[in-house]
Structure 1
Amino acid sequence: MKSRYSITLVLLLSMLSLGMSTGHADKRDKKHEHNVVREALQRGEVLPLTKILAIANQQVPGDVIEVELEDENKGLVYEIKILTSTGRVREVKIDARTGKVLSIEDD
């Protein structure tokens, strides 16, 4: 009976340690992603958010409710969610380097 308890405890502890290491890896990945974005901004490879928001508002007037800067296969892309005056939420994707509007869709 004691050995069965030990095996269960060992399995439980190993699962917990795996979960904790995954959590730390996620935090490291996010920190790395933030560093990549910050460095790109400092090098002038990414347009500042104020310019991106102006481009987005020209395409879809309304209130900005969310902004994300994603590292996608084609490079860094701003994803801006805008609440329009009619109550629709639209997502505008903009190339962070060039300011080119990549897509506009309902969210």
Structure 2
Amino acid sequence: MQMVLKSRLRWVFLAALALATTLALASGAPAKDKKAKRAEEANSIRAAVERGDLLPLPRILALAQARVKGEVLKIELEQDDGVLSYEVKILTRKGRVREVELDARTGALIKIEDD
């Protein structure tokens, strides 16, 4: 159980870092500002989770894996038409990659599709 929790916490950190990196690169900010932007984005995400505006990643992982069993490959936090969602890519036991999209605030299922 602790191994699973540690693995999930590692995914939380990696997902937050990936999101911050993506946002920093997309902004076209100078290289020296990228580190500050990543830290700002990570702090913003952390604050949103603490306020209850976003579900924490361990909860999102549990919801996604309840829908699709398998190994989590990638997690993205995205905004589309003002709605924040988590996209969780999962490798199933049969070798298929499925994408589970969940509302980032409520955890409600948006869709499941093959990737």
Select 2:100's aligned residue among 89, 92, 96: 92
Q: Which has the larger radius of gyration?
A: 1
1:105 matches 2:109? no
The match for 1:11 is: none
Q: Which residue of 2 aligns with 1:70?
A: 78
**Aligned with 1:55 (options 50, 55, 63):** 63
Shift of 1:30: 4.8
For normalisation by structure 1, the TM-score amounts to: 0.67
What is the identity, as a one-letter code, of the residue corresponding to 1:83? L
Aligned to 2:46, the other structure's residue is in SS state helix
Judged with a 3 Å threshold, the aligned counterparts in structure 2 of structure 1 residues 52 and 21 are, in CA distance, closer, same or farther, namely closer
Structure 1 gap ranges (5+)? 1-19
Q: How far apart are residue 67 of structure 1 and its match?
A: 1.0
The number of residues matched between the two structures is 88
Q: What percent identity do the matched residue pairs reach?
A: 48
Larger mean Cα displacement after TM superposition, 76-85 or 24-33? 24-33
- Return the offset for 1:22: 5.5
User: Partner of 1:14 in structure 2?
Assistant: none
Instruction: Structure 2: state its 5+ residue gaps.
Output: 1-27
